């Protein structure tokens, strides 16, 4: 098996076109990103972002109010050296009033918090952002709302634990039979409000990020890594194409070779995975050392996500080869087209596209491996150890298993009348 793996490595590396598009092209694209956008991010003057907020009771009782109040204070901007707030709030009574301000270009976005409010605490609070254009200010707004949503989940979990602890501490056997007019031992709304108050006093803030955390290039490079992972599927697709007799002379030779076809395919898959993994590790190193992209403190999880990205790319290439009819050029075209579409939906061409997709059709990016890999890097940096990262990992493993399973099912049923 070892000599077969070495043979496949030499065969894949001898294809200069394949090596360029899978290993060299992502690095060149990263250089273009840095050269074209780096000065814009570093030198563009930053102004406080004006936003309109619908002043509802749900908003008043929600975590979003705590965060917005904090971000509207002086010296709250992590991307400005001046003592200026990150946000300037314009409170409006209705969404229509906010949209009017947006049309008049008095604000960059309108935020409406929906949900229910009960006993001083909002339940199922969700933020809806309305934008009129795509730019740095709009991208900052989306990043802020994403961050607050993550913190809101944490508050909800802490509140549930606190209430459960109070129930255990104050619940006699007849707790459900409290006499009418007698107050219960505790108020769930007060418990939730207490949790929010504790978090607010103990550092619930978005101002503790380093200046790099608001670097708008980071999202571009995270999506670039995800795109490169899917592009790496060309290696495994080439291996599978070479094993199919209808696609060329190499496939016909493999079919009549005395060596086990299974060994040839498995060795080729291993070789393609190793090449793809090395290419992704090299790209991560270049991004970190040359482009100053920070991946967070946990390099073990970064390597895990990189390895899963290579696995998804491998599965994607195998699936394209097995499931897409037509010749090699057709399969390459499908792989590139699907990869680029996934990168666009994941936010490679601007954060607004990703936000619109997540709001309108959230299932799309849950099935989009490019978006999941991008989210994984995002979670590693902003929320290390947070459950969102492990959700991305689980979905990537499921997608890989489904693609490989479907490919194996189709390949086992293939029969050829003649070679």
pLDDT at 154: 67
Confidence of residue 95 (pLDDT cuts 50, 70, 90): very high
Residues 384 and 272 in one domain: yes
Question: Would you state the pLDDT for residue 208?
Answer: 43
Average pLDDT over residues 292-300: 87
CATH number of domain containing 101: 3.40.190.10
Q: Is 276 in the same domain as 402?
A: yes
β-partners of residue 117 are 122
pLDDT at 416 over 80: no
Q: Examine residue 181 and state whether it is found in any structural domain, yes or no.
A: no
Residue 364 lies in a domain: yes
Return the structure tokens found at 171.
């619940």
20 and 51 share a domain?
no
Residue 343 forms part of a structural domain: yes
pLDDT > 70? residue 318? yes
Residues 160 and 271 in one domain: no
User: Is residue 4 over pLDDT 70?
Assistant: yes
Rounded to two decimals, the pTM is: 0.66
**What confidence tens digit (pLDDT) does each residue in 162-204 have?**
666 766 665 544 444 445 554 455 555 555 556 556 555 544 4
417 in a domain, yes or no? Answer: no
| 297 φ, ψ (degrees, to nearest 5) | -85, -20
| pLDDT for the residue 214 | 44
What own/partner pairs with CB < 8 Å and gap ≥ 24 does 387-395 have? 388/150, 389/301, 389/305, 392/305, 393/304, 393/305, 393/308, 395/366
Specify whether the CB–CB gap between 205 and 337 falls below 8 A: no
Is 172 inside any structural domain?
no
Q: Is the confidence at residue 402, as pLDDT, over 80?
A: yes
How much is the mean pLDDT over the chain? 79
Q: pLDDT over 90 for what percent of the chain?
A: 33
Tell me the per-residue pLDDT of 104-122, one tens digit each, with 9 for 90 and over.
Answer: 989 988 999 888 876 556 6
Same-domain check for residues 11 and 129: no
CB 214 within 8 A of CB 79: yes
Residue 176 domain-assigned (yes or no): no
pLDDT in tens, 333-392: 999 999 999 999 988 877 667 777 887 888 998 999 999 999 999 888 876 556 688 999
Question: Does 395 lie in the same domain as 257?
Answer: yes
pLDDT of residue 224: 93
Both 250 and 365 in a single domain? yes
Looking at the structure, do residues 32 and 93 belong to the same domain, yes or no? no
Q: Based on the fold, state whether residues 283 and 143 are members of the same structural domain.
A: no
Residue 179 within any structural domain of the chain: no
Residues 6 or more apart from 381 whose CB is under 8 A from it? 213, 218, 294, 295, 296
Asked if 161 and 247 sit in the same domain, the reply is no
Whether 373 contacts 226, CB under 8 Å: yes
For residue 152, is pLDDT > 70? no
Q: How many domains does the chain have?
A: 2
Same domain, 235 and 321: yes
Domain carrying residue 356: 2-38+216-412
Q: Determine the 3-state secondary structure of 372 from DSSP.
A: helix
Is the domain of 406 the same as that of 359? Answer: yes
Q: Does residue 158 lie within any of the structural domains?
A: yes
Element housing 363 (H / E): helix 362-366
Please write the tens of the pLDDT for every residue from 20-62: 988 899 999 999 888 877 665 555 445 688 999 999 988 888 7
């Amino acid at each position: 098996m070892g000599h077969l793996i070495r043979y496949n490595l030499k065969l894949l590396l001898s294809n200069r076109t394949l090596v360029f598009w899978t290993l060299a092209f992502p690095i060149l694209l990263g250089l273009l990103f840095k050269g074209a956008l780096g000065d814009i991010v570093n030198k563009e003057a930053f102004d406080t972002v004006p936003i309109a907020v619908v002043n509802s009771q749900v908003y008043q009782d929600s975590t979003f109010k705590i965060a917005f109040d904090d971000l509207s204070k002086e010296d709250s901007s992590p991307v400005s050296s001046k003592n200026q707030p990150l946000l300037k709030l314009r409170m409006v009574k209705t969404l229509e009033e906010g949209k009017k301000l947006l049309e008049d270009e008095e604000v960059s976005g309108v935020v409406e918090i929906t949900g229910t409010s009960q006993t001083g605490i909002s339940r199922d609070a969700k933020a809806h952002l309305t934008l009129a254009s795509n730019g740095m200010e709009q991208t900052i707004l989306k990043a802020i709302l994403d961050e607050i949503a993550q913190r809101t989940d944490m508050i909800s979990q802490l509140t549930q634990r606190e209430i459960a602890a109070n129930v255990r501490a104050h619940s006699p056997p007849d707790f459900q039979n409290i006499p009418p007019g007698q107050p219960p031992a505790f108020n769930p709304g007060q418990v939730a409000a207490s949790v929010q108050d504790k978090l607010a006093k103990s550092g619930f803030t978005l101002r503790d990020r380093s200046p790099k955390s608001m670097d708008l290039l980071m999202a571009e490079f995270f999506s670039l890594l995800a795109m490169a992972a899917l592009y790496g599927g060309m290696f495994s697709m080439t291996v599978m194409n070479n094993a199919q007799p209808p696609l060329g002379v190499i496939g016909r030779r493999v079919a009549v070779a005395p060596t086990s076809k299974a060994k040839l395919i498995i060795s080729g898959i291993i070789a393609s995975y190793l090449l793809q993994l090395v290419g992704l590790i090299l790209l991560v190193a270049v991004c970190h050392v040359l482009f100053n992209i920070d991946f967070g403190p946990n390099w073990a999880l970064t390597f895990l996500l990189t390895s899963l990205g290579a696995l998804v790319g491998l599965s994607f290439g195998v699936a394209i080869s097995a499931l897409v009819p037509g010749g090699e050029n057709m399969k390459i075209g499908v792989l590139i087209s699907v990869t680029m579409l996934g990168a666009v939906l994941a936010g490679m061409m601007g954060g607004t596209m990703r936000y619109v997709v997540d709001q309108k059709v959230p299932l799309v990016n849950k099935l989009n491996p490019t978006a999941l890999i991008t989210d994984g890097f995002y979670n590693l940096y902003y929320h290390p150890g947070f459950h969102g990262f492990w959700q991305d990992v689980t979905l990537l493993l499921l997608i890989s298993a489904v693609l490989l399973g479907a490919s194996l099912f189709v390949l086992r049923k293939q029969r050829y009348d003649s070679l």
